[in-house]
Amino acid sequence: MAAREYGSGVALQVLGRVVAWLLVGVFAALGVLATYNSLATDSGALGALNLLLAAQSGWGKSFKAQHVIEKNLPEYDHVVVLDYKDEYRGLVKAGLARWWIGGPREASWSSSTWHDFIQAQRKLVVARHDQMQKGTWQSLCASVIAGARRLGDVLIVVDEAHFVAPQTGKVPSPIEGLATTGRGEGASSMWVTQRPATMEETVIAQCQARLLGGFESDADLSKIAGIVEYNEDLHNPGERAVASVPEELYPTDRETPVSLQKHENDEGHTIGSEWVYSDNTGERERRNTEGVAAEMESTHYGRQGKGIKV
Ligand SMILES: Nc1ncnc2c1ncn2[C@@H]1O[C@H](COP(=O)(O)OP(=O)(O)OP(=O)(O)O)[C@@H](O)[C@H]1O
Ligand SMILES: [Mg+2]
């Protein structure tokens, strides 16, 4: 009798645990979906997630990143932009963020100093001092990230991310930790790069959402092939006609699938570019940034790049 009572007690306990775990699973799944959807609708907060924004040089990454940052500034208590090439000054000029140069003095700041500083500034663009070497910038970024992550509700943007989280050499643990565990702390991240092929694999794998533009390098295109679930030729602007592309990734005004393109005006200035947004919930959409500048409060100060007359 005692044994039967014990047996049924254990069975009840096991059943209770199964139900509890099922409930935890359902709530976790709902939470993740809500987060993805907020980005997918392109209208609200990013939620806590990691976004990879990648395209070849000059495609308009920093422009698009600034657009995403602007839309999300009101959604986060704290935003910090690690600005390798000093391209996000427009946010500062529009009064949307504070500006600080990451120079030799700041390179020695501890993560606690950065924590307090970002807490006080709330929305901050840290521009790399133009004399600062990549390695010093990487360790400065590690301290900023370690300090910022502890703030909880924070969006951390890493431009030229292949220098901060490169595939070769050791990536400082706070940087990798932002991609692997940041979400659990409420920290979202946006990794902006022109060289996904040379970026740390763990960081790329931990990005649950992606905005990918055009690439001409074979190494980058094959990296993209490992990330997306459709024909990666879509991301080769030179390819034009592309076979077997899902319908939602066709350009809006055409009936045949062509690869993503960059749009230029008569003076050769970029006025927009095409992207594919995709995330781990299966959401997929082709997007065009032409005309987006009109929606923005801030100006983007990226370089158009100069041709050489021959
Ligand atoms: N949608 C757009 N509307 C207007 N101008 C744009 C748009 N997209 C890009 N540009 C302009 O094109 C130029 C290149 O864009 P951007 O600086 O964002 O490129 P990038 O991909 O970040 O290049 P890099 O890898 O060299 O940093 C900039 O002058 C930018 O303002
Ligand atoms: Mg850029």
Contact 67, 110 (CB under 8 A): no
| Percent helix, strand and coil across the chain, each to the nearest 5 | 45, 20, 35
Residues 54, 212: Cα–Cα separation, whole Å: 5
Contact 65, 51 (CB under 8 A): no
Ligand 2 geometric centre to CA of 194 (Å) = 8
Place of tokens 């927009």: 272
**Residue whose C-alpha is closest to residue 304's, from 111, 58, 89:** 58
Query: Can you give the pLDDT at residue 248?
Result: 86
Domain total of the chain: 1
| 170 belongs to a structural domain | yes
In tens, the pLDDT along 231-264 reads 999 999 998 889 888 888 988 777 778 999 999 9
What residues contact residue 207 under an 8 Å CB cut-off, 6+ apart? 50, 51, 52, 179, 191
Ligand 1 geometric centre to CA of 226 (Å) = 26
| 255 belongs to a structural domain | no
Q: Ligand 1, closest atom to CA 85?
A: 27
pLDDT, greater one: 310 or 266: 266
- CATH label of the domain that carries residue 164: 3.40.50.300
Which residue's CA is the closest to the ligand 1 atom numbered 9?
60
Residues 70, 42: Cα–Cα separation, whole Å: 12
| 58 belongs to a structural domain | yes
Place of tokens 């963020």: 97
Q: Report the chain's terminal Cα–Cα distance, integer Å.
A: 97
Ligand 1 geometric centre to CA of 129 (Å) = 21
Does ligand 1 come within 6 angstroms of the Cβ of 299?
A: no
| pTM as predicted | 0.85
pLDDT at 285 over 80: yes
Which tokens sit at 293? 């500048």
For 203, the domain range is 44-213+287-295
| 126 belongs to a structural domain | yes
Which tokens sit at 162? 């292949």
Ligand closest to 268 (CA) is: 1
Residues 142, 176: Cα–Cα separation, whole Å: 9
Q: Which of 78-82, 115-119, 129-133, 181-185 has the lowest mean pLDDT?
A: 181-185
| 243 belongs to a structural domain | no
279 Cα distance to chain centroid: 12
Ligand 2 geometric centre to CA of 55 (Å) = 9
| 233 belongs to a structural domain | no
Does ligand 1 come within 6 angstroms of the Cβ of 289?
A: yes
Which residue's CA is the closest to the ligand 1 atom numbered 12?
270
| 253 belongs to a structural domain | no
Does ligand 1 come within 6 angstroms of the Cβ of 300?
A: yes
| 198 belongs to a structural domain | yes
Does ligand 1 come within 6 angstroms of the Cβ of 265?
A: no
